[in-house]
Amino acid sequence: ATRVVLSARPQGAATLDDLRHEPFECPDPGDGQVLLRTIWLSLDPYMRGRMDDAKSYATPVGLGEVMTGQTVGEVIASRHKDFAPGDIATGMTGWTDHAVIDGGELRKIDPEVAPIQTALGVLGMPGLTAWTGVNHILRVESGKTLVVSAATGAVGSVAGQLAKAKGLHSVGVAGGPEKCAFATDELGYDACIDHHAQADGKAMAAAIADAASDGVDYYFENVGGKTLAGVIGNMNDHGAIAICGMIAWYGGKNLDEGPQMPMLWRNMLTRKLRAEGFIIYDHWHRFPDFLNEVAPMVADGRVSYRESVTEGLENAPAAFLDMLQGGNFGKTLVRVGAD
């Protein structure tokens, strides 16, 4: 079997030298365990944080250890009563083409409901994140205006579509004209701003003022940087910000981009804003409610999704680094093995 391990801790931006694809001996499953053959590996921005040896909401990956990651795979052998060979299941098996894992840590997937890899995207962690942010953190009301950054990504694309379905005016911010066209034409955003075309936070503020003429009531924050700088001055009184991510700043990049602290704080104060960070692991109990609501929307096309697929586990490191820079277009996936 093969896997990708953390070979070095990144100094600033992560590089290919920090990740290594290597062979390993996959053990046989013990009592209560399952041997899984990976079909799909999910690549997610949070993995960048796991590469650092810093205190966070999750323990870092150790040097020489397999990179953390959620996969969808086929059960090859099982010593757990709930799983049989041929079953499709998802779990945190990591960047590996085969894995042994406790059956209790796996969730079975019904391939009849939706394509199995949606368990990593629109019907998985990113979808739950979008749904939780929109409904439980922002608690949106129809008729109001929402801005979503990384608007075409795994999380943002779902947030935008859920808001649209609830009758909000939605403005996306995405990187490049192609993503912006997709945002308005396919995802239903009323407008989309290309952040590459905005020189700084001031230019971004003007573009947002243009696209959100009644001001911004809700901001689904995925990026930080100049997008946050542009949004903050456009927030309406009693507006809400769901702090989901700040990818522009991951790895210590773009630290000079973003709102000046006094400006940020003054706007929070005078406009009586509510900003709430959330980590999706605190909201897993909502998963059944989320699936009940969103799976039918995916089935009938009210929520559509797009995928950026890379072939082969050996290409996962490059795909991951590319995603951090916006090289993905939709949910980032690696096809590790045949369906």
Shortest distance, position 248 Cβ to ligand NDP, whole Å:
3
CB nearer ligand NDP, residue 83 or residue 250: 250
- To ligand NDP, the closest distance from the beta carbon of 46 in angstroms equals 5
Count of residues near ligand NDP by CB under 6 A: 31
What are the φ and ψ backbone dihedral angles of 286, each rounded to 5 degrees?
Answer: -85, -5
Interface pick for ligand NDP out of 168, 323, 334, 336 (rule CB under 6 A): 323
The residues in 193-232 that bind ligand NDP, with binding defined as CB under 6 A, are 195, 222-223, 225, 227
Angle subtended at Cα 163 by Cα 158 and Cα 166, rounded to the nearest 5 degrees: 130
Per-residue contact flags (x/-) with ligand NDP for residues 97 to 136, judged by CB under 6 A: -----------------------------x--x-------
Site for ligand NDP in 129-158 (CB under 6 A): 129, 150, 152-156
74/221 with CB nearer ligand NDP? 221
Q: Is 184 in the site for ligand NDP (CB under 6 A)?
A: no
- Provide the CB-side half-sphere exposure for 100 (13 A, CA): 14
In the complex, what is the shortest distance from the CB of residue 10 to ligand NDP, in angstroms, rounded to a whole number? 16
**Distance of closest approach, residue 202 Cβ to ligand NDP, in angstroms:** 16
Phi then psi for residue 15, to 5 deg, are -130, 170
CA distances from 305 to 66, 87, 293, 302, 329 (A): 29, 25, 16, 10, 10
Q: Which is nearer to ligand NDP, 76 or 181 (CB)?
A: 181
State the residue for tokens 């390993």.
Answer: 24
Say which residues have a Cβ less than 8 Å from residue 213's Cβ, sequence separation at least 6: none
Chosen residue from 89, 212, 231, 280 binding ligand NDP by CB under 6 A? 280
Q: Please list the alpha-helical segments (H only) found in the chain.
A: 46-50, 125-132, 154-165, 177-185, 201-211, 225-232, 261-270, 287-299, 316-324
Nearest distance from residue 4's CB to ligand NDP, in Å?
18
Q: Phi first, then psi: what are they for 109, rounded to 5°?
A: -120, 135
Q: Does 45 bind ligand NDP (CB under 6 A)?
A: yes
> Shortest distance, CB of residue 201 to ligand NDP, whole angstroms?
12
CA distances from 26 to 36, 74, 334 (A): 10, 15, 20
Q: Which is nearer to ligand NDP, 26 or 212 (CB)?
A: 212
Q: How far apart are CA 212 and CA 235, in angstroms?
A: 10
CA terminus-to-terminus distance, the chain: 17
325: which residues sit within 8 A by CB, 6+ positions away? none
* Residue 255 is a binding residue for ligand NDP (CB under 6 A): no
Binding site for ligand NDP (CB under 6 A): 44-46, 126, 129, 150, 152-156, 174-175, 179, 195, 222-223, 225, 227, 244-245, 247-248, 254, 278-280, 323, 326, 328, 332
